[in-house]
């Protein structure tokens, strides 16, 4: 972990990524303090205004302040994508480690199922799940988590198999440690950095998927501000008020880029072999 | 090669079967009676019963499952609950639009990504390399609808170079005009992805002995890079391009919405909004088929690019 931090330190780009991500997290946390207006407050006299001193990023069709909605939207985006990624990380790694550890039939059947899940377009899978279960926070989180599950299972499985035959694991077995203790106490710490890197890269994907679902109309119900939902509403007025769609679009782009930058830096840090590659 | 292909084909069949079963189960555990949903709250009991009988919903579940499988294999996917048209016909009607879009996007992604990746690898750690790496990371970060909206705004609304609604066909010019922006916006992430994979594959190959040998015997650098090295870097490129096709097919939904382009995506979103379950079933099957076929094609491509695969 210490070498990981040192290697990460040397990479300027990942610090930029981390900085932007931290800024967005702070903005989301303190949205009520930072937002100049109530994100739901409508003002029919101030509809579809371009950016002005009063409304730094303009107002939407209902006269709501775009900047305030953007800040509150960051909360939705982060809560959904972080929870979905965490769930996928924990459940996926558990499945992968178990499959690798138990081997044989269990491994074959589980990984076959994971491959099928991986083969299906994740956006369409998420879309169908949310449409059928209903667009609320737990369902959206579950759908996004399910689509990223197989990647974590794959990442966790291979090193588990490789480690199963190593001497130190053999020693644990001789000492009579339970499977759970060996898996959690001795194998997990060894594969954790890789899972963390994959988690960061998939967080970027989760943010994108959440925004895409909301853009299609499968996000949290209006009037809750979500970035994808704002883009959807803004897109309806793109001919006369283009900034309404462009501003949240750029917000999504910047956040996803920052998370990707961070994930790239982390990957380079844990695997010197991969440095400057992919 | 034959054994390999048989194994892949078997996986494809199992996947298809599993998806069909999943579709059947999901549609039936959904809350609400489809017959009730179609006819609405005002419908009489008799009308609902009659529709249930017509849809086969009154039969035992095992029988429903078997007839569902048999019909799916025969190409009878039922009729749309909304339009009353056969599902398969409606799907086949818009399928060419989506195939057009994904193939042109893939072509754009390869045409841009491979040269950029090679260029960056050859100039490793120089300015060009950094530029390409940052640009490809930006490209990877675009949600498909964001790139679509930005391109639509710049080139269709502001500059009027392209139509705002990309649904024209007929002459070659109309086709090209209506596909350019959607294909670029969808192909942008593909290009970024392929750039990164090409770069890392080329870096690996360029450090191998045979490349040094080729240089030592005096082959021009152009030949070394583009013929000897690239050919050996193609396998990982094809692998990820094949894997990425599934994402491309998924993202085409967003592109089609933004550019008001007919296709599977628009059909899918329409079916979702109107709870057209028979249409959704059919679409799940067609998407799975598409992914399975793409995977098989990329497996075949290995054999073409790398003669060694045939021996295995």
Max distance between CA atoms of chain B, in angstroms, equals 86
Nearest CA in chain A to B26: A132
Q: Nearest CA to CA, how far is B263 from chain A (Å)?
A: 14
Nearest CA in chain A to B17: A116
The whole-angstrom separation of Cα A39 and Cα A53 is 17
Tokens representing B70?
């048999």
Helices (H) and strands (E) in chain B, counts: 14, 0
Of A127, A235, A250, the CB nearest to B272: A127
pLDDT digits (tens), chain B, 312 positions: 677 778 777 877 887 888 778 777 776 766 566 666 667 667 777 877 777 777 677 777 788 888 888 887 787 777 787 788 888 888 888 888 898 899 999 999 999 999 999 898 888 888 888 899 889 989 988 888 898 888 888 888 878 787 777 666 667 777 777 888 899 999 999 999 999 989 988 888 888 888 788 878 877 878 777 877 888 888 888 878 887 888 888 899 999 988 888 888 888 888 887 777 778 878 888 888 888 888 778 777 776 776 665 543
Of A208, A260, A277, the CB nearest to B137: A260
Give yes or no for a contact between A234 and A112, defined as CB atoms under 8 angstroms apart.
Answer: no
Of B146, B203, B291, the CB nearest to A119: B291
Give yes or no for a contact between A247 and A66, defined as CB atoms under 8 angstroms apart.
Answer: yes
Q: Nearest CA to CA, how far is A137 from chain B (Å)?
A: 19
Q: Nearest CA to CA, how far is B103 from chain A (Å)?
A: 16
Start-to-end CA span in chain A (Å): 23
Q: Nearest CA to CA, how far is A39 from chain B (Å)?
A: 23
Q: Are A256 and B253 in contact (CB < 8 Å)?
A: no
Would the ipTM clear 0.90, i.e. be above it? no
For each successive 10 residues of chain A (278 residues), what is the average pLDDT?
Answer: 64 83 87 76 71 72 79 90 94 91 85 81 84 85 92 87 81 81 80 86 91 88 85 84 86 92 82 49
Which residues of chain B lie closer than 8 angstroms to A122, CB-CB? 246-247, 250
Which residues of chain B lie closer than 8 angstroms to A216, CB-CB? 253-254, 257, 269
Residue B142, chain A, CB below 8 Å: the answer is yes
Q: Are A123 and B196 in contact (CB < 8 Å)?
A: no
What is the SS3 assignment for A192? helix
Q: Chain A interface, mutation test: which of B16, B125, B146, most A Cβ atoms within 10 Å?
A: B146
Cβ under 8 Å to A: B residues 80-119:
none
**Dihedral, A188, A189, A190, A193 alpha carbons, nearest 10:** 100
Q: Are A231 and B145 in contact (CB < 8 Å)?
A: yes
Cβ under 8 Å to A: B residues 194-213:
196-197, 199-200, 203-204
To 5 degrees, how large is the angle CA B67–CA B69–CA B74? 90
Q: Nearest CA to CA, how far is B126 from chain A (Å)?
A: 12
Which residues of chain B lie closer than 8 angstroms to A277, CB-CB? 199-200, 203-204
Q: What percent of chain B shows pLDDT beyond 70?
A: 90
Q: Nearest CA to CA, how far is A182 from chain B (Å)?
A: 33
Q: What is the DSSP string of B89-142?
A: HHHHHHHHHHHHHHHHHHHHHHHHHHHHHHHHHHTTTSHHHHHHHHHHHHHHH-
Q: Are A217 and B125 in contact (CB < 8 Å)?
A: no
What is the SS3 assignment for B63? helix
């Amino acid at each position: 972990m210490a070498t990981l931090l040192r290697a990460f330190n040397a990479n300027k780009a990942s610090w930029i990524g981390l900085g932007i991500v931290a800024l967005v997290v702070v903005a989301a946390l303190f949205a009520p303090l930072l937002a100049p207006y109530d994100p739901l407050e409508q003002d029919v006299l101030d509809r579809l205004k371009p950016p002005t001193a009063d409304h730094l990023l303009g107002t939407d069709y209902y006269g709501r302040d775009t900047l305030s909605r953007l800040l509150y939207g960051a909360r939705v985006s982060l809560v959904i994508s972080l929870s979905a990624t965490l769930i996928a990380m924990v459940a996926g790694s558990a499945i992968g480690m178990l499959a690798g550890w138990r081997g044989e039939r269990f491994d074959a059947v589980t990984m076959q199922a994971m491959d099928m899940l991986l083969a299906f377009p994740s956006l369409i899978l998420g879309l169908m799940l949310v449409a059928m279960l209903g667009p609320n926070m737990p369902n959206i989180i579950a759908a996004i988590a399910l689509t990223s599950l197989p990647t974590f299972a794959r990442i966790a499985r291979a090193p588990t198999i490789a480690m199963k035959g190593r001497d130190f694991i053999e020693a644990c077995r001789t000492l009579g440690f339970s499977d759970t203790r060996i898996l959690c106490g001795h194998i997990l710490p060894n594969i954790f950095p890789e899972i963390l890197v994959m988690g960061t890269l998939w967080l970027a994907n989760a943010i994108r998927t959440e925004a895409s679902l909301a853009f299609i109309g499968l996000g949290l119900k209006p009037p809750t501000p979500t970035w994808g939902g704002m883009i959807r509403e803004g897109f309806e007025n793109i001919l006369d008020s283009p900034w309404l769609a462009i501003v949240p679009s750029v917000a999504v782009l910047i956040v996803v880029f920052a998370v990707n930058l961070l994930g790239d830096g982390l990957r380079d840090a844990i695997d010197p072999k991969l440095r400057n590659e992919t | 090669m034959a054994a390999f292909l048989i194994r892949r084909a078997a996986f494809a069949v199992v996947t298809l079967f599993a998806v069909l079963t999943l579709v059947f189960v999901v549609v039936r555990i959904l809350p609400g009676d489809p017959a009730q949903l179609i006819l609405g709250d005002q419908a009489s009991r008799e009308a609902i019963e009659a529709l249930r009988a017509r849809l086969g919903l009154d039969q035992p579940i095992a029988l429903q499952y078997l007839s569902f499988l048999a019909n799916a294999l025969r190409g009878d996917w039922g009729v749309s609950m909304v339009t009353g048209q056969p599902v398969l016909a409606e799907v086949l009607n818009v399928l060419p639009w989506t195939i057009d879009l994904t193939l042109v996007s893939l072509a754009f992604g390869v045409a841009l990504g491979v040269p950029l990746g090679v260029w960056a690898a050859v100039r490793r750690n120089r300015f060009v390399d950094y530029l390409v790496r940052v640009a490809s990371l930006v490209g990877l970060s675009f949600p498909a609808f964001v790139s679509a909206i930005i391109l639509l705004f710049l080139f269709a609304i502001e500059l009027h170079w392209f139509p705002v609604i990309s649904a024209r066909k007929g002459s070659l010019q109309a086709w090209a005009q209506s596909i350019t922006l959607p294909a670029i916006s969808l192909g942008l992430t593909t290009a970024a992805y392929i750039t990164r994979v090409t770069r890392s594959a080329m870096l690996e190959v360029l450090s191998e002995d045979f490349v040094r040998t080729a240089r030592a015997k005096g082959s021009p650098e152009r030949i070394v890079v583009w013929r000897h090295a690239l050919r050996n870097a193609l396998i990982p490129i094809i692998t990820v391009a094949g894997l990425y096709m599934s994402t491309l097919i998924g993202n085409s939904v967003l592109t089609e919405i933004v550019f008001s382009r007919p296709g599977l995506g628009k059909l899918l979103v329409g079916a979702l909004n109107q709870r057209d379950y028979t249409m959704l079933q059919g679409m799940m099957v067609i998407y799975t088929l598409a992914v399975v076929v793409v995977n098989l094609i990329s497996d075949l491509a290995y054999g073409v690019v790398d003669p060694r695969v045939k021996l295995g």
